[in-house]
Amino acid sequence: WIQAISAGVDNFPLAELKRQQIYLTTASGANAQSVAQQTVGYLLNDVRHLQSDAEHRLTKEWTDLFHRTELTGRSVLIMGTGNIGRILAGYLKAFDMHTIGVSRSGRAVENFDEVATMAQLSELLPVAEYVINCLPLTTATRGLVNADFLSKMNQYAYYVNVGRGGTDVEHDVYQALKNKKIRGAALDVFEQEPLPQDSPLWELPNIMITPHTAGHTNFYYGRIFDYFFENLAVYKQGLKPVRNLINYDQGY
């Protein structure tokens, strides 16, 4: 049995662990509140222009040139209805947003007004005002957000990725932002980290870049130890651990 200290396990030899019948449990949920709260910050910054206000402070400019609005009544499409997606949907419901979840199964989940399957994405992308990626990196999600995906999004939509960088085709995201095929984006994860200094993403005016910090919280390791000891108590009884047990066929 292996207890991972991360939520994602795409860097583990899953096929070999399955072959050897080794249990693998993850830290899924340990940073869910942190990721969800930072994501709310991205959306609030988008409608309230807080980053621009902070930049004007440095130049001592008292200016209000922006169209400030609210999250109230907006539709948000959250890809991934696990711990992060569920908590995030709850936070956004407090802003009276319409929450749509997308998952492999499409089953109903707390805090979502509706949940669809991944096969229904094409119908939902044109109407969502915010698209938030909380997906794990699997063979099914790698490169999901590509030129075709982005072309189906509303031109005025805002894209957020707090899941895995490998779910984006980064060049396609760059082109969509550069050519204003979508309104803007906030990215916390990237195909290569740290993001190279010569990445063209740095130069875009309609993007917020954070250095994979959404999951950083002082509560993280304490929660992982709680998960570990919960699973250990079960494992010592000769049973398989149940908290965050990986399904090798699904990859998460």
**Residues involved in catalysis:** 164, 193, 212
Contacts with 189 (C-beta within 8 Å, 6 or more apart), sequence order: 161, 162, 163, 164, 165, 168, 212
Q: Which residues pair with 117 in a beta bridge?
A: 103
> At 84, which amino acid appears?
I
- 61: number of CA atoms within 13 Å, CB side? 10
- CA distances to 1, 123, 131, 223 from 241, in Å: 8, 38, 34, 16
Q: Which two tokens stand for residue 192?
A: 């290569």
CB of 161 closer than 8 Å to CB of 135 = no
- CA distances to 56, 108, 218 from 62, in Å: 7, 47, 36
What are the strands, taking DSSP E only, across the chain?
A: 2-3, 24-25, 75-79, 98-103, 114-117, 130-133, 158-161, 184-187, 207-209
Strands 158-161 and 207-209: unpaired
